[in-house]
Amino acid sequence: MAVKYMTILFMIVMTRSLVYGQIYEDAEKVFRLSEESQKPILLVFSGSDWCAPCIKFHDNVLSQESFLSYAADHFFILKADFPQRKKLPAERKAQNEQLAEQFNPAGQFPHIVLLDPDKKLIRTLFYKNQSADRFVEELSRQFAE
């Protein structure tokens, strides 16, 4: 009986990840996927355990199905996290610092940029406590331009 429930749970999780976008933390993988598919990258700089606006952005936008569903069709999400209490592996920390040097030299949080598959800045986006639906509306306008 427990195996049956675990199988069902696994299928639900797998189906959700196929239907909705995914938040990646491996920049090399995301840049490769972007290049192969020619989809842009939404790069989010976050302080996940100390930055109140970053936490709100995660809760109000990044974790919402409406946003993830939209993202799956339009771009890859790459999160560069700079936590203060949580320890990141040295490789991930170095990767995030390199991304910050290139795309967030002022060290702003949250800082959200849209990159083309060649890692060129398309535009900087701003989070002002929008809902996921409102953020998607704003992104839709960006893609329509």
Output the CATH code of domain 20-144.
3.40.30.10
Element (H, E) at 91: helix 90-103
What residues pair up with 41 in beta bridges, in sequence order?
A: 76, 115
Query: Splitting the chain (145 residues) into consecutive groups of 10 residues, what average pLDDT does each group show?
Result: 54 47 95 98 98 98 96 97 97 98 98 97 95 95 77
Q: Residue 93: how many CB atoms within 10 A of its CB?
A: 14
The token pair at 98 is: 């390199």
pLDDT for res 144: 76
**pTM: predicted TM-score of the whole model, two decimal places:** 0.85
